[in-house]
Amino acid sequence: MNMSASHVLFRVAIASALAVMASACRKGEVDAYGNFEAEEVVVSAETAGQLVQFRVEEGVKLPAGAVVGTIDTAQLALQRRELLARRDAGRSRTTEVRQQVKVLESQQSVSRREYERTQRLFEQQAATAQQLDRAERDYRTLNEQIEATRAAAGTTRGDVASIDAQVAIIEDRLRRTQIANPMEGTVLTKYAERGELLQVGQPLYKIASLDTLTLRAFVSGAQLAAVRLGASVLVRIDGGSTEDKDSMRELPGRVSWVSAQAEFTPTPIQTREERTEQVYAVKVRVPNPGGVLKVGMPAELVIAR
């Protein structure tokens, strides 16, 4: 199916859904009023440093995973180079110690045989006690040297492991110097500029997906029974006609959330009489394929009966 045919089918489906919901609603009646909002994400710096590259502009749509900026990596790169040099030296030392252990073990094998031979000769009264003591001392000394060398090897391996951990931390910080866009969406606000010195957690920009917006409205307790999660509703916005200022455009929506707790009518939309009435917040997801909906735009909500 080509793109034009898909577009026609989409428009037909939308028109059908609107016709069904409009027929199910009482003509001209508005159940609630609200404003559109988006799921916004504030992207912040994950490491400190100078912002050397920053390709973000307000109103521009960014794909998920795109690298949009870079924080200076010079100091981290130098630290990594130093740690790698220390790690290489530690590994070389570990290799040398292992070789020393092998040499001492070879000497220990010879010394053990010499000690055992001297013991037999001493039992046969063919060796003196002094010769036996010397052979035993040489054998035990080599044992102690091997144990000490193995301990040194363990310490060296521990040092190398510690440096490996430090290198991993530095490499993780280096990865965080690349600012990756977390989601596909449109940049709403830009907080930083190239060349600024950043701190960890400093906001860089705000992004939101505008393909589907959320209408947040408030319904009364009497209307609550007609509101169901997943239910289709009708959303009306200004038609934008210069000739007919009262014209309205109708869009399909779906209830995605209903508050479990009542609250007083929010101050920005209440009248003096309404301040004593409790209402329930609802959220309606409304597709925005043409980009006609904007964050903060007012709208009317009609609930199907």
Q: What is the DSSP string of 110-143?
A: HHHHHHHHHHHHHHTT-S-HHHHHHHHHHHHHHH
Distance between CA 162 and CA 213 in Å, rounded? Answer: 49
Confidence of residue 153 (pLDDT cuts 50, 70, 90): confident
Q: What pLDDT was estimated at residue 10?
A: 37
Pick the more confident residue, 241 or 202.
202
Region 96-115 average pLDDT: 86
Which DSSP string corresponds to 170-224? HHHHHHHTEEE--SSEEEEEE---TTPEE-TT-EEEEEE--SEEEEEEEEEHHHH
| Residue 241 pLDDT | 61
Q: Which of 136-145, 186-195, 257-266, 275-284 has the highest mean pLDDT?
A: 186-195
Closest by Cα among 220, 167, 165, 210 to 187: 210
- Determine the CATH number of domain 44-72+178-207: 2.40.50.100
pLDDT at residue number 90 = 86
pLDDT band at 123 (very low <50, low <70, confident <90, very high): confident
Q: Which of 39-53, 253-267, 290-304 has the highest mean pLDDT?
A: 39-53
Domains 25-40+209-303 and 44-72+178-207 agree in fold: no
3-class secondary structure, 46:
coil
pLDDT at 124 over 60: yes
**Residue 74 or 20, more confident:** 74
How much is the CA Rg of the chain, to the nearest whole Å?
A: 38
Boundaries of every domain in the chain: 25-40+209-303, 44-72+178-207, 74-175
Confidence grade of residue 289 (pLDDT, cut at 50, 70, 90): confident
Q: What is the mean pLDDT of residues 53-80?
A: 94
pLDDT over threshold 70, residue 100: yes
Q: What is the Cα 217 distance to its own chain's centre? A: 30
Q: Is the pLDDT of residue 60 over 80?
A: yes
Closest CA to 17 of 275, 280, 252: 252
In the prediction, which pLDDT does 269 show? 54
pLDDT value, residue 4: 42
Q: Is the pLDDT of residue 249 over 80?
A: yes
* More reliable by pLDDT, 56 or 265: 56
Lowest mean pLDDT among 107-111, 132-136, 242-246: 242-246
What pLDDT does 112 receive? 87
Higher pLDDT: 223 or 52? It is: 52
Using one digit for the tens of pLDDT, what is the confidence trace for 218-241? 988 888 888 889 999 999 998 766
**Residues of the chain above pLDDT 70, percent:** 84
Q: Give the residue, 270 or 208, on which the prediction is more confident.
A: 208
Nearest to 20 by CA among 226, 252, 283: 252
Residue-level pLDDT at 14: 39
Instruction: Report residue 8's pLDDT band, with 50, 70 and 90 as the boundaries.
Output: very low
Q: Does CATH place domain 25-40+209-303 in 2.40.30.170?
A: yes
Q: Is the pLDDT of residue 166 over 70?
A: yes
